[in-house]
Amino acid sequence: MSRKATGGSPTEPAKPRPVSSHKHRGPALDFIGLDVLWLQITGTVCNIACRHCFITCGPKNFNHPFMDRDQVLTTLEAAKDSGVKEYYFTGGEPFMHPDLLFFIERTLEQGPLSILTNALLIDTITAGRLFELSQASEYSLDIRVSLDGTTAEENDPIRGKGTFQEILVGAANLLRAGLNPVFTVTTVHAQYEGGDGRTLFMEELRQRGFPRPRVKFIPPFHLGREAQRSGEYEESFRLSPGDLFPGEEEVLQCGSCRTVTANGVYPCPILIEEDGARMAGSLEASFGSIELNHPACATCHVEGFSCRT
């Protein structure tokens, strides 16, 4: 049986919904079922303001506020009914949310969970509690720690003065508690775009006390502050009808995921600040094919990239 869902009637399928309000027409991507759910737990609110942040998160950005308990629990219930297989918490900084541990416990009753964090708020007590929650669940808990260099000189101009050492302390707290973090590296430094640089990055982590390093490298998306730092996308850098490979709905994350914020549902976590990207107010109403008319879609296509752990 096909997993595809058109979101329309048998005789009149719904038109693909563009992921931005731009007039460019992109290729349609089928929706094959809700496998992956992202929850923007703290919206765009963060304790730091990274210079490469794709959605311009920071202490003063309340465009997407914290999700409250009712919103999260209602979303989890809808996700369970929809057959979600993986969950992701992001922000902003998820560990700013006072109910985060409660949300983690409830989510781990339903499936594996990854949390994206800068680790600045992960002390020894929090790390220990996270380990306890992971041990109590039959599903895995991954903590993805953002780090953008192997030295303070590389990382701190991007993430803020003193953050390199503080991030490593938070990651070490996780490791000592029994959780091996996944370091997430946005390749703003050219040496980490290829294999040799990435091998050196992992070796540096071993030298810093992480004997079995886990690393995910992410290409820069020229949105938010990253567009200010390194330049906006060229207007021609967009996908057009016919550009997708056969079966790419199985590869591109947005063929089987949605992102929920306090303000509604979006196709992916990268586009929550983009004009026209909001799809619906509920998960069920967001199901259906989409039109990939934003330059970020071309980045994922060219790089073969997925936000999944």
Q: Is the pLDDT of residue 4 over 80?
A: no
**pLDDT value for 6:** 42
Cα distances from 18 to residues 24, 27, 38, 279, in angstroms, run 9, 9, 19, 9
pLDDT tens profile 228-239: 999 999 999 999
- Scan for tokens 């586009």, then name that residue: 271
Q: Is the pLDDT of residue 226 over 80?
A: yes
Would you place residue 106 in the very low, low, confident or very high pLDDT band (cuts 50, 70, 90)?
very high
Question: Distance (Å, rounded) from C-alpha 162 to C-alpha 277?
Answer: 35
**pLDDT value for 14:** 79
Would you place residue 219 in the very low, low, confident or very high pLDDT band (cuts 50, 70, 90)?
very high
Would you place residue 1 in the very low, low, confident or very high pLDDT band (cuts 50, 70, 90)?
very low
Domain-wise residue ranges, the chain: 17-303
pLDDT tens profile 66-91: 999 999 999 999 999 999 999 999 99
**pLDDT value for 12:** 52
Would you place residue 162 in the very low, low, confident or very high pLDDT band (cuts 50, 70, 90)?
very high
**pLDDT value for 26:** 96
**pLDDT value for 309:** 79
Segment 137-166 shows an average pLDDT of 97
State in Å, rounded, how far the first CA of the chain is from the last one.
28
**pLDDT value for 11:** 43
Segment 201-205 shows an average pLDDT of 96
φ, ψ (nearest 5 deg) of residue 218:
-120, 130
**pLDDT value for 7:** 45
Segment 132-145 shows an average pLDDT of 98
**pLDDT value for 5:** 46
Segment 139-162 shows an average pLDDT of 97
pLDDT tens profile 261-272: 999 999 999 999
Give the domain 17-303 fold. Answer: TIM Barrel (3.20.20)
Segment 108-118 shows an average pLDDT of 98
Would you place residue 308 in the very low, low, confident or very high pLDDT band (cuts 50, 70, 90)?
confident
Q: Which amino acid is at 147?
A: L
pTM: 0.94
